[in-house]
Structure 1
Amino acid sequence: IQKSTQSPPEESTLRISHSRKMACELFLFRLGRGTFGQVRRIHSTPANSVQAEQRLKKFAIYRWNPDKSEEKPQMQEYSVDLNACGPMVLDALIKIKNEIDPTLTFRRSCREGICGSCSMNIGGVNTLACISKIDTNLSKPSKIYPLPHMYVIKDLVPDMTNFYNQYRSIQPWLQRKDETASGSQQYLQSIDDRKKLDGLYECILCACCSTSCPSYWWNGDKYLGPAVLMQAYRWIIDSRDERSEERLNELRDPFSVFRCHTIMNCTRTCPKGLNPGKAIAEIKKLLSGIIKKDEPGLKTATLQN
């Protein structure tokens, strides 16, 4: 009797199943190796080959160097790739200074529209470079000048000396007749009295409004200008301030306030959306006696514990 050389059916089935499993694993391995290879090739591709086409924007910037005073001011053009630059004009100025021309001079600090340092004239409008978006029209350059009708220290840096001297003249701090307890506790103020200061205290003294005012251009030595007058009004109507009458008396002359001819450039150009023109109108009404300062809603002499 001859013995059968064939494997039992169960053993044949196991061998076929094992072979199929091996083939499937080999296929998945090859597929995975190909996929990862493609990923590696994509990541190892030089950046230049996948870069988008450059979007070159021209900026025409006012240049003047006091060390070369014999040379006239001029407009100098720079090209910036908008694909490699932030969206604001200040981003472009910083990129130009860092990568193209380190001699370009301008003021800047917070980059958030809070400090007022980067005020300048961009495209014919006084504004803050840090919150002014770049005009993406590549066919024409963006023109950038220092604030108008101000002495220029260098390039985009105006001389703010007169502006700050005028601000100092209004004594912009809380004043009481009896200041023996000042600094120890807070003076009370009602909610309604506090609301009267909204739209005034937010001024960042960037001087965009004052340097857009023709009256300030013509009488900058005597007329205080929109920014300073709005700050003066902020302290005049503060319910906690007891020197309002003295503050108004300092403004009783033909120039400090009444050189305002309600041109309203100040309100149109304010980058914070404030209304200096309205504040000046309120001061005029107080000076003429048409209105009077409201009595405090709370007894401000009472100190808050």
Structure 2
Amino acid sequence: MSTATMDRVEAASAASHLITVTFRIRRFNPEVSAEATWQDFQIDIDPKERVLDGLHKIKWELDGSLTFRRSCAHGICGSDAMRINGKNRLACKTLIKDIISPDKNGVSKPITVEAIKGLTVLKDLIVDMDPFFQAYRDVMPFLVTTGNEPTRERHQTAEDRERFDDTTKCILCAACTSSCPVFWNDGQYFGPAAIVNAHRFIFDSRDEAGEQRLEILNDKDGVWRCRTTFNCTDACPRGIEVTKAIQEVKRALITRRF
């Protein structure tokens, strides 16, 4: 078999795995219109590919003006959080095959993609993350100690480390905070992500600023605004028990034991 024939066979085999998918994307460009609109793009893609791959295909082959954030593409940087089929997800971790569903005629329904809620949309799928990161900075997300700097690492037992292990997984994607109805209604609320990162240091046995962080979260826009809807836990792409962490911070505020 000639090389050209083999190439055609391989191309045909690769194409046989592709399906036609419609991406319905909520577009917004303040330089064009004050209103957002929905736009459909139809592409052929392997169902084992990710939503991020589909967005790349649209941007690179169909419409270069499509705007979204992404970096590592491996679920670590958290920059490509968006609402996909009505749920907060990371585009780089969401497989096409897991979210397509046929209608009554057997045709796949469009995959809807839009910016996360509660934060100002700057363009297409990009939101202004400044309020989110300001809340994060406000809870002092760093180790605070007094005395002389040690000459070796600060020791900690495995049990002490396990106490806050879950909340060290946060990648600051804002999926939890932008899924919170309290945050939607009032952007002044610290939000789940900030509380999770406060939890990580409040319960760290090496840290000495737990009381200070608790007072910050005792504010009217702090931890007591949580209504325990579990949206944040459901939205977290890292599987953090966000609602549980918030409840532990509330308990620490009441008992002053942490």
How does the TM-score come out when normalised to structure 2? 0.90
After superposition, residues 68-87 of structure 1 pair within 5 angstroms as 68-70=32-34, 72-83=35-46, 87=49
**Residues 166-222 of structure 1: CA deviation (Å, up to 9, x unaligned):** 1010111100122x316x53111111101112211000011111111111112221x
The correspondence for 1:66, drawn from 26, 30, 40, is 30
1:292 aligns with 2:257: yes
1:125 aligns with 2:93: no
Structure 1 residue aligned with 2:56? 94
Paired amino acid for 1:87: E
Q: Against the structure 1 CA distance between its residues 277 and 45, is the aligned structure 2 distance closer, same or farther, given a 3 Å change threshold?
A: closer
Paired amino acid for 1:199: D
Quote the offset at 1:104 in angstroms: 0.3
Residue pair 1:62, 1:75 contacting (<8 A) in 2 also: yes
Structure 1 residue aligned with 2:116? 147
Number of equivalent positions:
250
Q: Which runs of 4+ in 1 moved over 6 A?
A: 46-50
Residue pair 1:127, 1:208 contacting (<8 A) in 2 also: yes
The correspondence for 1:157, drawn from 123, 126, 133, is 126
2: distance between equivalents of 1:187 and 1:160? Answer: 34
Structure 1 residue aligned with 2:149? 181
Paired amino acid for 2:140: Q
1: distance between equivalents of 2:162 and 2:7? Answer: 60
Residue pair 1:248, 1:287 contacting (<8 A) in 2 also: yes
Structure 2 residue aligned with 1:29? none
Residue pair 1:235, 1:244 contacting (<8 A) in 2 also: yes
Paired amino acid for 2:16: A
The correspondence for 1:255, drawn from 221, 224, 231, is 221
Quote the offset at 1:49 in angstroms: 6.4
Residue pair 1:230, 1:276 contacting (<8 A) in 2 also: yes
1: distance between equivalents of 2:73 and 2:31? Answer: 29
Q: Against the structure 1 CA distance between its residues 111 and 44, is the aligned structure 2 distance closer, same or farther, given a 3 Å change threshold?
A: closer
Quote the offset at 1:43 in angstroms: 2.6
Structure 2 residue aligned with 1:274? 240
% identical equivalent positions? 40
Quote the offset at 1:139 in angstroms: 2.4
Paired amino acid for 1:247: R
Residue pair 2:177, 2:232 contacting (<8 A) in 1 also: yes
Structure 2 residue aligned with 1:225? 191
1: distance between equivalents of 2:177 and 2:11? Answer: 48
After superposition, residues 190-229 of structure 1 pair within 5 angstroms as 190-221=157-188, 223-229=189-195
Quote the offset at 1:236 in angstroms: 0.3
**Residues 119-165 of structure 1: CA deviation (Å, up to 9, x unaligned):** 00000100100001113445211000000121001000011110000
RMSD (Å), alpha carbons:
2.1
1: distance between equivalents of 2:131 and 2:114? Answer: 19
Structure 2: runs of 5 or more not aligned: 102-106
1:246 aligns with 2:208: no
Paired amino acid for 1:56: T
2: distance between equivalents of 1:96 and 1:111? Answer: 16
Structure 1 residue aligned with 2:66? 104
Residue pair 1:177, 1:243 contacting (<8 A) in 2 also: no
How does the TM-score come out when normalised to structure 1? 0.77
After superposition, residues 33-48 of structure 1 pair within 5 angstroms as 38=1, 42-43=5-6, 45=8
Q: More displaced, 270-279 or 114-123?
A: 270-279
